[in-house]
Amino acid sequence: MSLLEIFDPAAAPRPIGIDLGTTNSIVARMRDGRPVAMTNCDLEALVPSAVFYDERGQVIVGTAALRMAAAHPSDTIVSVKRFVGRGAHDQETRRLGTYRFAEPANEDEARSVRFVVGNGRTVTPVEVSAAILASLRQLAEDELGSVGGAVITVPAYFDDAQRQATRDAGRLAGLDVLRLLNEPTAAALAYGLEHRKTGLFAVYDLGGGTFDVTVLRLDDGVFQVKSTGGDSALGGDDMDRALAERLLAAMDVLEVDRSSTGGREVVRLALDAARQAKHALTERESVVLTLPKRGGGEANVTVTRAEFDALIAPLVARTGVACRRALRDAGVAREQLDGVILVGGSTRVPYVRRFVEELFGKAPLGDIDPDLVVAYGAAIQADILAGGDERREDVLLLDVLPLSLGIETMGGVAEKLLPRNTSIPAGARQVFTTYADNQTGFELTVVQGERELAADCRRLARFTLKGVPPMPAGMARLEVSFRVDADGLLTVTAKEILTGIEQDVTVTPSYGLTDEEVEQMLIDALDHGESDFEKRQLAERRVEAERIVMATVAALAREDAGAFEPGEREQISDAVAGVRAVLNGVNSRMIQARIEILDEATKAWAGRRMDRAIQAAITGKRVDDVGESVAHARGVDAHVAEHRGHKSD
Amino acid sequence: MACLDSYPGMTDAFDSLGLEPCFDLDLAHAEERHRTLSGVLHPDRYVKSSASERRLALGRAIEVNQAWRTLRDPILRAECLLIRAGVPVGEGREPKPSPELLMAMMEAREELSDANKLRDFLAIERFAASMKLRERELVGSISRAFAVTPRDAVALTAVLPELGALRYVRRFLADADAMLEDRES
């Protein structure tokens, strides 16, 4: 770390990458073109993903929180990632654990798990995750002075609700989330760039709570995901649970009373002992644990590696099913793979390594730290997105949708709109009509999953369309567009084709929090509520306005006079001046309005620039060389118009 | 609510990728083109741009992804070419499948479902292999039809029955795959 970085009070904001893990979290950044993990005062990079809520409402994160887990098993939330984006009655809440869950009072509350912690306070997984992220942000700020955007990694197999919840947590932690990046892709990015690899790779990522497998092609800086599969509730925690069940039996605890403090303490003890035994068995053939017995006395329990292997075999076998499917989906035989990359702490378990080797028919690549590689990838991606490293302009991550998206039809069947492993961003459109005269609205339920019946998939959200112009039944033509962005997040818009009226779409998520709830949490989290929130919003608007002005001015300077319609350039310059005039004011709505005017003024020009870039890419020329010759090139919009015209005749 | 139509394509796939329309497409070249255009249009390239530019790029990146998804699939590729030639496509718009095809597919499906009930996965694999052969024949014959009359709408309608048959074959293969996948769980 250079002195300049410490003492420069006006340090430019620097992008960071965050691996928000089930067991540990890591924040990394780029230094001299290489990713490095940031460490706390004890020089530890791994921050335990543990959050302790005390009696007085204080929140403690990390190692200090983990120390409280034994004495306060229900006030210390570990492995919160397993609950992210899950409903109050999710199966996960019934597995062996130490938490107290709030019984939802109504349907709204049932959309999220709620932990009851110190002093009867309830917190959602989004808030717990936000506490971890905020502590990582603090760690980064201590070193960098100012943090710019952040890339947060998520399991590739996370569905829309889990991704949305992670993004909400980032927002709540005060982070500008540049991108949600899939963990295996992040690992491949860090690994592939480091070793300048080319070829077909499988990433086997078994973490504390989630499993992913991704098959991807690395080629000249382009990372193209072919397929992904996994289980967002399978990991080291399940190994601990399997062993803990056995330990509890040895302690003569045959039935755990989770409603009592004592019962939860016993479970915590068994889970911790199981984890320690698991770690020890990586190096040793057997381990002896001394555990208290019910009714007094102690039990010496010997666990051999063979016994442990037998306990986890069914869990590990489940990863095999997902791997074979991922290979099939990618159309790749295991012999074609150039390498298998291991990611996640659970891949240290010898049985898992052997299993992977047998499954893929080759020894996994062992020269990467499975704990840090994901955070490294996130830091690299954050740097690329923030435009920090010009040399990496050729790096591109092309990812896929992990689970099919569909809509629930009349008979309760899930009709697939976008199949799993579709490249993202992705979109689909569907046309609906009304079934009653003068019907002005209707509802759509979007589901995610591979099963045939909607009830067996995850119901993501209900979309309510309103404002359909009154017409006889069957006349209206409602075109509903589904878009999945590069974060894997879904948005739905709708338009009535005959009138061209854009429909108002209200989203009622089945899981997680609504935008309003997140906003309210943001306000609550700030010392001076509303006024702080407005200040933050103003600061965010200013940053955005400055960014757009800078980008526009730079693009204007590069452009020839001939590239504009008469008067267009002046209009753009006026709009830029308009934004600048209000930039230092305190009215964030005014700034927003001026941004929108600039946006409108540059729209057509942006479209032409994009056409030129496309043309240049196709002909293999640099953009500057293409110039006038493509001024009349047909844009994609022209194709759309032609295609539409064609369809209607 | 009633669903009227589902059309995955937004823009003509060949146009989106800037490729000469033909059925016997050089897939490696098309994939390369998809990657080149993704490099220009991917949202990662527009993180710092204005909202409308981001939206525009997102829309086009979606089109380019969709185009590659369409062109690498023989059924969707054929549909795209037929639409270009002015031949209406999609089940419901095309002539009904022949009774012979329906009978043959019904029998094949009965055999498949019997094998599945007996959990005779070797038999399922055998049925799938022979159906794959049929798939290859159909694609070959569709390809020949497009080679002879690439733009003649009347002549191209002759492709429709084969395209219909190919859809049946594809669904059969998808179901067989699902059965084989169940073997593991």
DSSP codes joined into one string, A505-531: EEEEESSS--HHHHHHHHHHHSTTHHH
Q: What is the pLDDT of residue B177?
A: 86
Query: Is A521 within a domain?
Result: no
Higher pLDDT, B6 or A599: A599
- For residues A302 and A286, give the distance between their C-alpha atoms in angstroms, rounded to a whole number: 7
What is residue A48's three-state secondary structure?
Answer: strand
The rounded distance, in Å, linking the Cα atoms of A136 and A130 is 10
In the block, tokens 């291991």 appear at: A342
CA distance A379 to chain B (A): 14
> Any idea what the CATH number is for the domain that residue A597 is in?
1.20.1270.10
Question: Do A631 and A614 fall within a single domain?
Answer: yes
Distance from CA of A491 to the nearest CA of B (A): 12
Residue in A149, A432, A595 closest to B3 by CB: A432
Spatial separation of the C-alpha atoms in residues A227 and A219, rounded to whole Å? 16
Let me know whether A356 and A283 are in one domain: no
Closest CA relative to residue A215, chosen from A315, A322, A314? A322
Mean pLDDT of A231-255: 90
Whether A439 maps to a domain, the answer reads: yes
- Please return the burial class of A394, using the count of CB atoms within 10 Å of its CB with bins 0-12, 13-18 and 19+: exposed
Q: What average pLDDT does range A568-595 have in this prediction?
A: 88
Name the phi and psi angles at A334, rounded to 5: -60, -25
Give the mean pLDDT of A176-190: 94
pLDDT for A450: 86
Contact yes or no for B49 and A606 at CB 8 A: yes
Q: What's the full length of chain A, in residues?
A: 649
Residue owning tokens 């666990």: A303
- Residue A26 three-state SS: strand
Residue found under tokens 């009373």: A257
The percentage of chain A sitting over the pLDDT mark of 70, rounded to a whole number, equals 92
Query: Do residues A578 and A597 make contact, with C-beta atoms less than 8 angstroms apart?
Result: yes
pLDDT tens per residue, range A474-525:
888 888 888 999 999 998 888 888 888 777 787 778 887 888 888 888 877 7
Interchain proximity B10–A431, CB inside 8 Å: no
CATH 1.10.287.110 domain position(s) in chain B? 13-72
Which residues in chain B have their CB less than 8 angstroms from residue A325's CB?
181
Flag whether A309 is in a domain. Answer: yes
- Six token digits for residue B15: 């146009």
pTM value? 0.87
Best mutation site among B14, B27, B40 for testing chain A: the one with the most A CBs within 10 Å?
A: B40
Written as tens digits, the pLDDT of chain B (185 aa) is 454 444 444 578 999 998 999 999 999 999 999 999 998 899 988 887 888 888 889 999 999 999 999 999 999 999 999 888 888 887 677 778 888 888 889 999 999 999 888 888 899 999 999 999 999 999 998 998 888 776 777 778 888 888 989 999 999 998 898 888 777 65
Which of A75, A160, A205, A240 is catalytic? The answer is A205
Q: Which of A194, A214, A220 is closest to A337 using CA atoms?
A: A214
Cα of A649 to nearest chain B Cα, Å: 10
Residue B32: closest C-alpha in chain A: A618
| Interface touch A486/B42, C-beta < 8 Å | yes
Q: Is A540 a catalytic residue?
A: no
B69 in contact with chain A, both atoms CB, cutoff 8 A: yes
Pairwise CA distance, residues A614 & A306, whole Å: 58
Radius of gyration of chain A measured on its C-alpha atoms: 27
Averaged pLDDT for residues A241-268: 85
How confident is the model at residue A277, as a pLDDT? 94
Among A218-222, A240-244, A386-390, the range with the most confident prediction by mean pLDDT is: A240-244
Min Cα separation A360/chain B (Å)? 16
H or E element, residue A490: strand A490-496
Contact A212, A228 (CB under 8 A): yes
- With a cut of 70, say whether residue A284 has pLDDT above it: yes
CATH of domain B99-182: 1.20.1280
Tell me the ipTM for this assembly.
0.86
C-beta neighbour count of B20 within 10 angstroms: 7
Higher local confidence (pLDDT), A327 or A616 = A327
User: A640 and B10: CB-CB below 8 Å?
Assistant: yes
Q: Decide if A647 is inside a domain.
A: no
Residue A538's Cβ-side half-sphere holds a number of Cα atoms within 13 Å equal to 14
CATH 1.20.1280 positions along chain B are 99-182
Whether A483 contacts chain B with CB within 8 A: yes
Closest alpha carbon to B72 in B62, B60, B82, B80: B80
Distance CA(B83)–CA(B70), nearest Å, equals: 13
On whether both A357 and A460 belong to a single domain, the answer is no
Tell me: do A64 and A22 sit in the same domain. Answer: yes
> Is residue A18 scored above 60 in pLDDT?
yes
Q: Per the domain annotation, does A464 fall within a domain?
A: yes
3-state secondary structure of A82: helix
Question: In which band, very low, low, confident or very high, does the pLDDT at A630 lie, cut at 50, 70 and 90?
Answer: very low
At residue A37, does pLDDT exceed 60? Answer: yes
Contact A397 B65 (CB under 8 A): no
Q: Chain B contacts of A222, Cβ < 8 Å?
A: 35, 39
CA–CA separation, A304 and A302 (whole Å):
6
Residue A421's closest chain B neighbor by CA? B69
Name the minimum distance, in Å, from the CA of B145 to any CA of chain A.
Answer: 23
Rounded average pLDDT over A122-134:
94
What is the C-alpha to C-alpha distance for residues A518 and A515, in angstroms, rounded to an integer? 5
- For residue B1, what pLDDT is reported? 45
Q: Is B22 on the interface with A (CB under 8 A)?
A: no
Structure-model confidence comparison of residues A451 and A625, the more confident one: A451
Q: Residue with structure tokens 């019946």?
A: A453
CB within 8 Å: A435 and B41 = no
**Nearest CB to B8 within list A428, A617, A634:** A428
DSSP A104: P
- Average pLDDT for residues A375-387, to the nearest whole number? 91
Minimal Cβ distance to A430: which of B3, B65, B185: B3
Q: Show residues of chain B in contact with A432, CB under 8 Å.
A: 1-4
Task: Give A627: exposed, middle or buried? Use CB within 10 Å, 0-12, 13-18, 19+.
Answer: middle
pLDDT of residue A509: 81
Q: Which stretch of DSSP H or E encloses residue A554?
A: helix A529-558
Q: What is the mean pLDDT of chain A?
A: 85
Q: What is the mean pLDDT of residues A190-199?
A: 81
Domain range for A556 is: 526-638
Most confident of A119-133, A425-439, B44-58: A119-133
Say whether residue A472 is in contact with chain B using an 8 A CB cutoff.
Answer: no
Closest chain A residue by Cα to residue B16 = A636
How sure is the predictor about A632, in pLDDT bands with cuts at 50, 70 and 90?
Answer: very low
Cβ contact (<8 Å) for B42 and A396?
Answer: yes
Distance CA A105, CA A119 (A): 19
Confidence (pLDDT) at A10: 58
* Cβ contacts of B37 on chain A, cutoff 8 Å: 614, 617-618
Q: Is A642 marked active-site?
A: no
**Cβ–Cβ of B36/A618 closer than 8 Å?**
yes
User: In the predicted model, what is the mean pLDDT of residues A293-316?
Assistant: 91
* Chain A, chain B: beta-carbon pairs less than 8 Å apart: 155
Residue A13 pLDDT: 82
For residue A548, what pLDDT is reported? 86
Q: Using DSSP, how many helices (H) and how many strands (E) does chain B show?
A: 8, 1
Shortest CA gap A248–chain B (Å): 29
Give the model's pLDDT for residue A62: 93
Cβ proximity of A300 and A290 under 8 Å: yes
Residues A130 and A142 reside in one and the same domain: yes
* Residue A643 forms part of a structural domain: no
Q: Are the beta carbons of A398 and B38 separated by less than 8 Å?
A: yes
- What distance lies between CA B34 and its chain's CA centroid? 17
Does A294 lie in the same domain as A186? no
Three-state SS for B60-113 is HHHHHHHHHHHHCCHHHHHHHHHHHHCCCCCCCCCCCCCHHHHHHHHHHHHHHH
Inter-residue contact A347 to A208 (CB < 8 Å): no
**A419 and chain B in contact, CB less than 8 A:** no
Mutate to test the interface with B, among A640, A642, A647 (most CBs of B within 10 A): A640
Report chain B residues whose CB lies below 8 A from the CB of A618.
Answer: 18, 33, 36-37
> Cα A162 from chain centroid?
7
Q: Do B2 and A424 touch (CB under 8 A)?
A: no
Residue A568 resides in a domain = yes
- Is the minimum CB–CB distance between B54 and chain A shorter than 8 Å? no
Q: What is the mean pLDDT of residues A180-209?
A: 90
B42 vs A: CB within 8 A: yes
In A305-425, at which residue ranges do the beta strands (DSSP E only) sit? Answer: 339-343, 396-398, 405-408, 414-418
Residues A19 and A141 in one domain: yes
pLDDT value at residue A390: 54
**Nearest C-alpha of chain B: how many angstroms from A193?**
17
- From the list A143, A168, A183, A487, the catalytic residue is A183
Q: Are residues A358 and A410 in the same domain?
A: no
Q: What is the CATH number of domain B13-72?
A: 1.10.287.110
> Do residues A54 and A71 make contact, with C-beta atoms less than 8 angstroms apart?
no
A205 belongs to the catalytic site: yes
Provide the pLDDT for residue A391. Answer: 55
- Residue A626 pLDDT > 90: no
CB atoms within 10 A of CB A257: 12
Question: pLDDT value at position A30?
Answer: 92
Poorest-confidence range of A120-129, A289-298, A622-631, B146-155?
A: A622-631
Q: Is B185 on the interface with A (CB under 8 A)?
A: yes
In chain A, how many domains are there? 4
Residues A323, A308 share a domain: no
Residue with tokens 């293999």: A620
How far is it, in rounded angstroms, from Cα A524 to Cα A530? 8
> Which residue in A179, A116, A120, A123 sits closest to A152, CA to CA?
A179
Q: Find the CB nearest B56 among A398, A606, A616.
A: A606
User: What are the beta bridge partners of residue A123?
Assistant: A115
Q: Is the pLDDT of residue A586 over 80?
A: yes
Q: Is residue A256 part of a domain?
A: yes
Strand-by-strand arrangement of the A339-343 sheet = A339-343, A199-206, A211-219, A222-231, A396-398
Is A81 among the catalytic positions? yes
pLDDT given at position A634: 38
Whether B181 and A643 lie within 8 Å, measured CB to CB: no
Let me know whether A338 and A368 are in one domain. yes
Q: Is B1 touching A (CB cutoff 8 A)?
A: yes
Task: Identify whether the C-beta of residue A598 lies closer than 8 Å to the C-beta of residue A643.
Answer: no
Query: Is residue A425 reached through a cis peptide bond, with omega within 30 degrees of 0 on the bond before it?
Result: yes
Q: DSSP character for A484?
A: E
Q: Which residue type, as a one-letter code, is found at position A262?
A: G
A578 class by beta-carbon count within 10 Å (0-12 exposed, 13-18 middle, 19+ buried): middle
Same domain, A296 and A230: no
Per-residue pLDDT at A232 exceeds 70: yes
Cα(A555)–Cα(A522) distance, integer angstroms: 36
Residue A628: pLDDT above 50? Answer: no
Q: Which of B1, B38, B66 has its CB closest to that of A396?
A: B38
Instruction: Give the closest of A417, A425, A639 to B62, CB-based.
Output: A425
Cα distance from B33 to chain A (closest Cα, Å)? 7
Q: Is there a single domain that holds both residue A387 and residue A251? A: no
Which of the 8 DSSP states describes residue A111? G
Q: Position B126: which residue type?
A: R
